[in-house]
Structure formats: structure tokens, C-alpha cells
Amino acid sequence: MNAYSIKISTCLHLPLRMALVLFVTMFGAYTCYICLNQISVERSNSVLFGTIVTGNQCEIHAIPPEEIPYVHFPQPKTYSRDECSCTPVRFFVILSMQRSGSGWFETLLNSHPNISSNGEIFSAARRRDNISTIINTLDKLYSLDWFSSAAKNECVAAVGFKWMLNQGVMDHHKEILDYFKSKHVSIIFLFRRNILRRLISLLANDYDRYAKQLNGIHKSHVHSKEEAEVLARFKPTINVAVLMANFSYVERMIADCLHFFSSMRHIVLYYEEIIGNQNALSHVQEFLCVPERKLVSRQVKIHTRPLPEQVTNWEDVTKMLNGTRMLRIQDGCIQ
């Protein structure tokens, strides 16, 4: 092989080398861009909720000292929070009673991109068999390992659920209070002032469980006026003999609940006030320490008619309530 042939061979390899160098340079630039973009997303999410990322650690930043105990950084076992690992999470629970607006209220909360409220997790009796199963269920939810249609997982900033008072929370209130204290769970009390309207809603819902008026399907909540009108046609007959006892029972349950759990950080809401006060939902978001958003729900109210048009024996009801403070309470509640 002569010198000329060696020179030709070298020249042929030069374009390949240049192409390889160009490819490596472009790949390196792209990799740096992706990394910087991920860091930017991570920092923007964290700074928004008052934390900064230092190495592999999450440092609390710009959070009032009194709020620090309520800030958590869960590490789920079933997935990674990735760029949201330093987004602080606050734990909450909605303590309420059936047909008190909790379903509607929860859909409002879940319309917020950073709130995840996971429904009545203790409606299943097996989860509340004893305090051990209750604690295990709570641990799973607050570790963000609970999967439901409301779960937002990675970037959630407030996670909770609704707990009906007849689903074990009152039976084990001492142990549950200790758990809430250890986890710094914030409590949203949600009740209904108009106990009579709640009773009518309960009776109508129980009737539909068997009647299944919407094409053979039972629905506790509806998303259209047409469906609401169908369910509203049923007018229950109220057993006036036990009406006052029912009212007393509900009032006692609410009073006991407030007594057991009001030592926790909490807010007390009434369905009627949320309906009539545009600022109520702003207060809720402030309580949960999430950026304020317009909260929306697709649910349609079922029972909108005046009370006399919703029961078959209204005269008997008014006679029973006449002269009692209960009549004044019901008259004072529009919803």
C-alpha cells in the first residue's frame, strides 16, 4: 500500500467522524435540556406550596411555623411522586352524615387539581371491623397508596375522605382522635341545619334503593334536571310519632362529634351556608392551604320544592312541630 492510498482512506473516514461528533453534541444538548426542564417543573411545584429541593431532601420554605406539623411528604409504596416528591401534602377528613350535602361538597373539592377526596372509604363494613382495620385503611390512604377515581397521586397537596358518623368513627372516637393527632389531620365538619329536609332526602333515597326509578338503576346523586325531577316525584309519609326523637338523635350525634373531635384543627360548615355563601369555598381552600380555584360540580339538586310539597302528611308534621324550636329551625333554613 502506498502513501496515496493511505491518504484517500483517511479522507473517506473524516466525514463519518464529523457526523459522529455532531450527533454526540446534539444528543448531549438535548439531554441537558430535558434535565433542566424537569428541575424547573420540580422547583415550580415545590415553591408554589412552600418548599425547596436541596439535593435529595425537601426543605420547608415560607410555611408559617404553626403550619409545619401539618405538612407531610408521603412516600407511596406503589409508585413514585417524581417531580412532585417535594410538594407538601396536608391530610384532612370530612365528618358528616348521610344526605347532608357531603357528596356534592366532595365533587366540588375534587374539581381542584390539588385536592383528592376519596369518598366513603368506610362504607365497606370490612374496613371498620375493628380499630386495627380502621388504622390500616387510614395509613393506606394517607400514604397516597389509595386508588380511587378521585386520586390525583403525584401532585396532590391535600388528601382526605368523607367519614359518615354511623361508620365506626363514633364507636372508636378515642383511638381515632389519637391517630388524627399523630398524623395532624385537619377536620371539616359538614352538617345540615334543616334536619327535616335531610330526613325527607333520606326517606326518598331509601325508597329509590328498591324502586330504582331511573331505568332500573338506583342513583343517590344525579347530573341532570330530568333525573332530578323523576326522583323528586316521590313524596314520603313521615312517621310523626318518632319525628322529635329522630331530630334529637341527629342533634345529639352532631354535638357528640363536635365534642370528641373539636380539639383538632377544624372548620365547621353547614350545607345551607355553602349554598348561600360564595366565599365559603374560598375559606375551605384557605383551610386546606391550596391555591384558590373556582370549584364546580355536575351534581343537580333533587329536592327543591317547598317543604309542604315534599311530604304527603305535611299537616301532621306541622302539628307535631308547632310550638317547638324545631319548627323555627326548619323555617329559618331555606335549603
- Asked if residue 47 has pLDDT above 80, the reply is no
The arithmetic mean of pLDDT across residues 143-169, rounded, is: 89
**Backbone torsion region of residue 296, taken as left when φ is above 0, otherwise alpha when ψ lies between -120 and 50, otherwise beta:** beta
- Asked if residue 185 has pLDDT above 70, the reply is yes
- Asked if residue 34 has pLDDT above 60, the reply is no
Instruction: Tell me what pLDDT residue 153 has.
Output: 63
- Asked if residue 103 has pLDDT above 60, the reply is yes
pLDDT band at 31 (very low <50, low <70, confident <90, very high): low
pLDDT band at 8 (very low <50, low <70, confident <90, very high): very low
DSSP 217: B
Residues in Cβ contact with 191 at an 8 Å cutoff, skipping those fewer than 6 apart: 96, 97, 100, 254, 268, 269, 270, 271
Among 315, 306, 321, 334, CA closest to 246 = 321
Tens digit of each residue's pLDDT (9 = 90 or more) over 60-92: 777 888 889 999 999 899 888 888 888 899 999
Tens digit of each residue's pLDDT (9 = 90 or more) over 229-262: 999 999 999 999 999 999 999 999 999 999 999 9
Instruction: Tell me what pLDDT residue 16 has.
Output: 64
Tens digit of each residue's pLDDT (9 = 90 or more) over 274-330: 998 879 999 999 999 999 999 999 999 999 999 999 999 999 999 999 888 776 666
Distance CA 284, CA 92 (A): 11
- Asked if residue 6 has pLDDT above 90, the reply is no
Q: Provide the 3-class DSSP secondary structure of residue 236.
A: coil
Quick one: 160 exposed, middle or buried, by C-beta within 10 A (0-12, 13-18, 19+)?
buried
Name which of 129-133, 177-181, 196-200, 322-326 the model is least confident about. Answer: 322-326
Distance CA 286, CA 292 (A): 7
Kindly tell me the number of DSSP H helices and DSSP E strands found in the chain: 11, 7
DSSP string for residues in 134-158: HHHHHHHHHTT----TT--GGG-SE
Distance CA 157, CA 159 (A): 7
Tens digit of each residue's pLDDT (9 = 90 or more) over 105-154: 999 999 999 999 999 999 999 999 999 999 999 999 999 999 887 777 66
What percent of the chain is modeled with pLDDT above 90? 68
Among 153, 162, 155, CA closest to 107 = 162
DSSP string for residues in 88-128: -BEEEEEEE-TTSSHHHHHHHHHTSTTEEE---TTSSGGGG
Whole-prediction pTM: 0.82
Instruction: Tell me what pLDDT residue 147 has.
Output: 87
Distance CA 104, CA 206 (A): 18
Triad 201, 206, 207: Cα angle to 5°: 100
Instruction: Tell me what pLDDT residue 39 has.
Output: 40
pLDDT band at 96 (very low <50, low <70, confident <90, very high): very high
Which domains are seen in the chain, by residue range? 3-66 (no CATH), 89-332 (3.40.50)
Cell readout for 296 is 364546580
Q: What is the 3-state secondary structure (H, E, C) of 3-45?
A: HHHHHHHHHHHHHHHHHHHHHHHHHHHHHHHHHHHHHHHHHHH
Mean pLDDT of the chain: 86
pLDDT band at 17 (very low <50, low <70, confident <90, very high): low
The 266-270 sheet, strands edge to edge: 115-117, 158-164, 90-96, 186-191, 266-270
- Asked if residue 40 has pLDDT above 50, the reply is no
Q: Which amino acid is at 191?
A: F
